[in-house]
A and B are shown apart, each in its own frame.
Chain A
Amino acid sequence: QVQLQESGPGLAKPSQTLSLTCTVSGGSITTGDFYWSWIRQSPGTGLEWIGYIFSSGKTFSNPSLKSRLSISIDTSKNQFSLTLRSVTAADTAVYYCAREGRGAGWFDPWGQGTLVTVSS
């Protein structure tokens, strides 16, 4: 069965760049018409969809983050990545990667999540 695992630094400095990678195991990232997604949860708040990418490289992003966001995919490594520029304390969150169901708006499975703190 497909499993996802986030990795990356747990700390980012204000105004700098946050970068995370999600490694997919148990299946190919190019199989099926799935979108590969990033979702976050800031402390004390709910879930926020960040964006997703198709195996072709086509991306869709949350309009509120679009200007600072890049999502990329490396099919040779079965990984996809998130880059968020000019971060502030408001970007402190648990970041999850997840597989999205063929444009039907459901997420399954999810990674365990990784906490990223933005602080000097």
Chain B
Amino acid sequence: QSALTQPASVSGSPGQSITISCTGTSSDIGGYNYVSWYQHHPGKAPKLMIYVVSNRPSGVSNRFSGSKSGNTASLTISGLQADDEAVYYCCSYVSGNSLLFGGGTRLTVL
């Protein structure tokens, strides 16, 4: 299984919006609505930001939103803030009872 495809890095200025894409296949993202997103600050545990494509857990800012079209899922962060700077990972269910992460995208807030 190859990792889901994410851009290695994205950047934006405070207050701007950015979108991180996550591309898979019809056997994972395209076939199921089980896509989740995680924020990972170095040395800390990853934090769930979005689940089941577009749902936000309690306590996660509504500046974070998720969507999916075909084999590509997306995470959008609006109103960028300094502490949004982190590595973001997508994850998808894969046919055959498996799970697959993306390679991670480093977000830099300029």
A20 to chain B, nearest CB (A): 15
Contact of B98 among A63, A107, A110 (CB under 8 A): A63
CA distance A73 to B104 in the complex (A): 30
CA distance A111 to B34 in the complex (A): 22
A106 touches B101 (CB 8 A): no
In the complex with contacts A96-B46, A107-B91, A108-B57, A49-B97 CB distance below 8 A:
no
Chain B contacts to A: CB under 8 angstroms: 1, 3, 32, 34-36, 38, 40, 44-48, 51-52, 57, 89, 91-93, 96-104
* Cβ–Cβ < 8 Å partners of B38 in chain A: 47, 107
CA distance A105 to B44 in the complex (A): 21
CA distance A14 to B91 in the complex (A): 30
In the complex with contacts A46-B104, A49-B91, A64-B1, A106-B36 CB distance below 8 A:
yes
A47 touches B52 (CB 8 A): no
In the assembled complex, 7 residue pairs joining A and B whose CB atoms fall closer than 8 Å, in A order, are A39-B101, A60-B98, A62-B98, A104-B52, A105-B36, A108-B57, A110-B46
Main secondary structure of the interface of A (DSSP, over half): loop
Contact of B97 among A60, A96, A104, A107 (CB under 8 A): A60
* Cβ–Cβ < 8 Å partners of A63 in chain B: 1, 96, 98
B105 to chain A, nearest CB (A): 10
Within 8 A of B (CB), among A52-107: 60, 62-64, 96, 100-101, 103-107
* Cβ–Cβ < 8 Å partners of A101 in chain B: 51
Contact of A105 among B3, B47, B91, B96 (CB under 8 A): B91
In the complex with contacts A104-B51, A106-B48, A108-B57, A46-B89 CB distance below 8 A:
yes
With CB as the reference atom, state the residue of chain B lying closest to A60: B97
Contact of A104 among B34, B44, B98, B102 (CB under 8 A): B34
Q: Does A28 contact B (CB under 8 A)?
A: no
